[in-house]
Amino acid sequence: MHAHKFFDDEERRKWQNPEAILIRAGVKTGLTFVDMGCGDGFFAVPAAKLVGNSGRVYGLDVDSDAIGRLKEKARKETLRNLELKVGVAEETVFCDSCADIVFFGIVLHDFSDPNKVLSNAKRMLKPSGRLIDLDWKKEPMRLGPPLQIRFSKEKASNLIETAGFKIDCIADEGLYHYVIVATPES
């Protein structure tokens, strides 16, 4: 169950600031940003604004309703740099070596085969690109998915390293989340 099923954007913004997270992750004008499991665009919409017309955002989600809502948001905000697809991350590679950032926003624990999803991410990233994994800390709290399905920082890091990445840093992101930044090993 995705976090975005439980909260609307306004509610979620009380404990998560997508712009601040994206800026810290290095999202800026002209970049190509891939949002795997983008839901209805909590991160994809701010990313599209940050990368601007010279950049591009690819968004993927299994939920066609969420993608529909995201398309509507993009239309309202006249964002034309979003390329959206309904599909499974295990079977989706938007492009080879085209992405500056591949982003997983509290979704890595939801995939049936995280290893496959991470190797797809590696295929999409430029050699200089970065993988950003933002996820729920594996500790008891009022918010978020059941504890047993969450990935600890260690588990997520191991998965990411196994898929051929080098971990650059692991940091807390607010009270409830951590963020892992990794780069592809050549």
What is the C-alpha separation between 162 and 148, in angstroms, rounded?
A: 22
Residue 54, phi then psi, degrees to nearest 5: -85, -5
Q: Is the pLDDT confidence value at 47 over 60? A: yes
pLDDT value, residue 7: 65
Query: Can you state the angle between helices 44-51 and 64-76, rounded to 10 degrees?
Result: 40
The pLDDT-based confidence of 13 (bands split at 50, 70, 90) is confident
What is the C-alpha separation between 152 and 137, in angstroms, rounded?
A: 6
CA distances 107 to 80, 81, 135, 186, Å, are: 25, 23, 7, 25
pTM of the full predicted structure?
A: 0.93
Interval 116-148: pLDDT, tens: 999 999 999 999 999 999 999 999 998 889 999
Q: State the average pLDDT over residues 145-158.
A: 95
Cβ proximity of 186 and 25 under 8 Å: no
pLDDT value, residue 6: 52
Q: Is the pLDDT confidence value at 40 over 80? A: yes
CATH for 24: 3.40.50.150
pLDDT value, residue 4: 42
Cβ proximity of 38 and 45 under 8 Å: no
Average pLDDT, the chain: 93
What share of the chain has pLDDT > 90, as a percent? 87
Domain with 87, as residue range(s), is 3-184
Total number of domains in the chain: 1
Q: Is the pLDDT confidence value at 94 over 90? A: yes
pLDDT value, residue 16: 86
Q: Is the pLDDT confidence value at 1 over 60? A: no
Interval 55-92: pLDDT, tens: 999 999 999 999 999 999 999 999 999 999 999 999 99
Higher-confidence position of 55 and 174: 55
